[in-house]
Amino acid sequence: MDESSKTIIRKQTKVIVLLFFIILLLIVSLVIINFRTRESSSICGVKSEPEWVCGTDNLQRQTLLNNIPKAIAQTQIHGNYERGEKLFKQNCAVCHTTTDQLITGPGLKNIFNRVPTHQVTWLKNYILNYEKVKRSKDAYALSLSKKYDQLAMTIFEDLLSNEEVEDIIFYLAVF
């Protein structure tokens, strides 16, 4: 073999090796991209996890998911968190936060720790018609009325069904 054909072969080998690396790089990138999409779809697409976790960051999502059994134990309701969240946003969030922050109404964080025993029944009655609970001389309802003197809550009796109120209570229990 003469010198010039040797050089040609050397050049061709270089090109082949370079192409090989480029292809390898492409394959690795595709594998990484594929994994990433699968990871994100496992957050938003898997049936066993409710859709509301979608979009929340991992830590927050995990904390809320961990609270579901606690919420079931506390309320004895196997409520629908997603529906509760939606209903809360539509009907309650104008006046209430799920933190300690007071807007028109008090923040509802840890609400279960302050309402009277038979919490779920109390909350259900209160949300449906808080005036009625006040009229029954319920001490806690009267103390709220005194504390939030000029402020009024909506009466939901004709606006929400029993089941919808349960979902809202379940939603509140998760926080």
Single-letter amino acid code for the residue at 23: I
If the CB atoms of residues 8 and 94 are measured against ligand HEC, the closer one turns out to be: 94
If the CB atoms of residues 53 and 172 are measured against ligand HEC, the closer one turns out to be: 172
- Residue selected from 53, 71, 92, 133 as contacting ligand HEC according to rule CB under 6 A: 92
- Residue selected from 52, 112, 156, 170 as contacting ligand HEC according to rule CB under 6 A: 156
Contact between 173 and ligand HEC per CB under 6 A: no
Contact between 174 and ligand HEC per CB under 6 A: no
If the CB atoms of residues 53 and 153 are measured against ligand HEC, the closer one turns out to be: 153
Q: Within positions 45 to 84, which residues make up the interface with ligand HEC, using CB under 6 A?
A: none
DSSP assignments along the chain, one per residue: --HHHHHHHHHHHHHHHHHHHHHHHHHHHHHHHHHHHHHHHHHHS-TTS-GGGTTS-HHHHHHHHHHHHHHHHHH-----HHHHHHHHHHHTTTTB-SSS-BSSS---TTGGGTSPSSHHHHHHHHHH-HHHHHHTT-HHHHHHHHHTTT--PPP-TTTS-HHHHHHHHHHHHH-
Q: How close are the terminal C-alpha atoms of the chain, in Å?
A: 80
What is the x/- site pattern for ligand HEC, positions 112-151, by CB under 6 A? --xx-------x--xx----------------xx--x--x
Single-letter amino acid code for the residue at 100: D
If the CB atoms of residues 54 and 175 are measured against ligand HEC, the closer one turns out to be: 175
Total number of residues that touch ligand HEC (CB under 6 A) = 24
Task: Give the interface with ligand HEC as residue ranges (CB under 6 A).
Answer: 91-92, 94-96, 104-106, 108, 111, 114-115, 123, 126-127, 144-145, 148, 151-154, 156, 168
